[in-house]
Amino acid sequence: MEKVFVSRNNTAAIKCPNCANVKMVSVEQLKGKAFIINAKCPCGAVFKVSIDFRRTYRKSINLPAHIQMLARGGGWLAVLVRNISKGGVGLVLPARYGIEVGDELVLQFTLDDRNHTEIERKIVVRLVDDSFLGCEFIGPVQHEQEKALGFYLMP
């Protein structure tokens, strides 16, 4: 089931698993809880979507990073990491780069912790809000990176 994040104006980008059509839906009235909703796409597909408002601890940062678009290959693009949590990152792009909800990227950056830990994680885009991307970590994580991030995120 697709899990979607909610943007600052309480809308969620719901992507159809059948035709990849993305629709912005207002979820204001659901605020404060995790919900599963039934979505119906104009293409006829009916599917369930998990909408997650729950906040994990998110640290505001401002670190340079690079992303690579997995599907399109090519070079590394410069971005800024604006926030980080155990579950993912918020990125700001200097340009849109044509990135859409559901795109998978590789993210590389160096934490400003004592060891300057190198982070390299696979992420999936869950939210596109102008030049801001809300992304979720996916795939395996190296134990050392996970441990370093755990320390880094201690409030």
Task: Give the footprint of Zn ion on this chain (CB under 5 A).
Answer: 16, 18-19, 21, 41, 43, 45
Burial environment of residue 10 by CB neighbours within 10 A (0 to 12, 13 to 18, 19 or more):
middle
Q: Which is nearer to Zn ion, 23 or 66 (CB)?
A: 23
**Residue whose token pair is 């590394």:** 76
Q: Which is nearer to Zn ion, 21 or 50 (CB)?
A: 21
Report which DSSP code applies to 97.
T
Joined tokens for residue 11? 């809308």
Which backbone phi and psi does 147 adopt, to 5 degrees?
A: -65, -45
Provide the minimum distance between the beta carbon of 141 and Zn ion in the complex, in angstroms, as a whole number.
Answer: 32
Provide the minimum distance between the beta carbon of 16 and Zn ion in the complex, in angstroms, as a whole number.
Answer: 3
Taking a C-beta distance cutoff of 8 angstroms, is the pair 37, 49 a contact? yes
Joined tokens for residue 119? 């982070």
Provide the minimum distance between the beta carbon of 40 and Zn ion in the complex, in angstroms, as a whole number.
Answer: 9
Q: Which is nearer to Zn ion, 17 or 139 (CB)?
A: 17
Q: Which is nearer to Zn ion, 15 or 121 (CB)?
A: 15
